[in-house]
Amino acid sequence: MVQKKVITLTKPIIEEAISNLYCNNFPARLCIADLGCSSGPNTFFAVLEIVATVDKVLKKMGHQLPEIQVFLNDLLGNDFNTIFKSLPKFQKDLEKTTGAGAESCFVTGVPGSFYGRLFPSESLHFIHSSYSLHWLSQVPQGLESNKGNIYMASSSPPCVLKAYYEQFQSDFSLFLRCRSAELQEGGSMVLTFLGRRSEDPSSKECCYIWELLAVALNDMVAEGLIDEEKMDSFNIPNYTPSPTEVKCEVGKEGSFTINRLEVSQVNWNAYHGEFCPSDAHKDGGYNVAKLVRAVSEPLLVSHFGDGIIEVVFSRYQRIVADRMSRETTEFVNVTVSMTKRG
């Protein structure tokens, strides 16, 4: 639900990027890649929004929707089978939204890390990624002094913040080089990171959600339910950049011109101020715990085993609910729209 809101928030930026693309080029077949597509309901929601935007832009110009090739990318372990089982529903939704039949849009799965080449040279026109690029290729090296924390925190020493930033720089620079090779000249990218406004990488606006998970884990260490050494060696491979940091890396790599760089925010609880489909969704702690569990459970299971998971997230839900009742809690999003230079 949070990601769906974020995709909706960035729709005007996507529309502008596609309009600019078609001002310079009219490809007979449009090739689009969605990187970090996952396998939930948002996979085809993002694709439908993009294709509907293409249709809207072209109708304004007096043109028909061309054949569109959509590449859905995620890591090797992603559940691509679930994605493809949802394809008939997507095709119905596409016809309802644009009037285009199934033969207008062809969908392909592309497994692999986006921190490497995924597509042939100059084969793409438009690249989209939402809420994926803040995940690093690996846990940074040199985090031994980050004891009691599982991410950057106000108590993390400077060397930990430096290690995280350098890993982000290395990963994002590699990402830009790979996408530059794969995009045609004048091709566009719209990327949305979970980020921060502050220039402090350990600021509460980006680290708080992980600090509260660390509270739950440390409580279990104190009770002897988790080994302290295990706790001290666990860190989340994530980096939430500021707009300045994104701009700096794009400038250094040199292949792209930034058209827009914007910051937005959404409440931690996706149903905040909206209709709740069930009583469970009225509980903000439940919603946030479910969201964080979806992305962090594989990491926790790999490090601690699956025996602690239910207890960790039961405690985390209570801690988050308590903080949300007393504070304003929001995710900050950094969205960048750019064009490949000639």
The whole-number pLDDT of residue 42 equals 76
pLDDT tens profile 47-92: 999 999 999 888 888 888 889 999 999 999 999 999 999 999 999 9
> Is residue 268 over pLDDT 80?
no
The whole-number pLDDT of residue 291 equals 85
The whole-number pLDDT of residue 89 equals 92
Mean pLDDT of 273-299: 73
SS3 annotation, 106-129? EEEEEECCCCCCCCCCCCEEEEEE
Mean pLDDT of 159-185: 97
> Is residue 275 over pLDDT 60?
no
* 330 φ/ψ angles, rounded to the nearest 5 degrees: -140, 145
The Cα 237–Cα 124 span in angstroms is 28
Query: Is the backbone of residue 138 left (phi > 0), alpha (psi -120 to 50) or beta?
Result: beta
Which of 175, 220, 205, 146 has the alpha carbon at shortest distance from 338? 175
The whole-number pLDDT of residue 283 equals 65
pLDDT tens profile 93-145: 999 988 877 788 999 999 999 999 999 999 999 999 999 999 999 999 999 99
β pairing state of 67-74 and 29-35: parallel
Averaged pLDDT of the chain: 90
> Is residue 41 over pLDDT 90?
no
Judged by DSSP in three states, 88 sits in helix
* 104 φ/ψ angles, rounded to the nearest 5 degrees: -85, -25
The pLDDT confidence band at residue 273, using thresholds 50, 70 and 90, is low
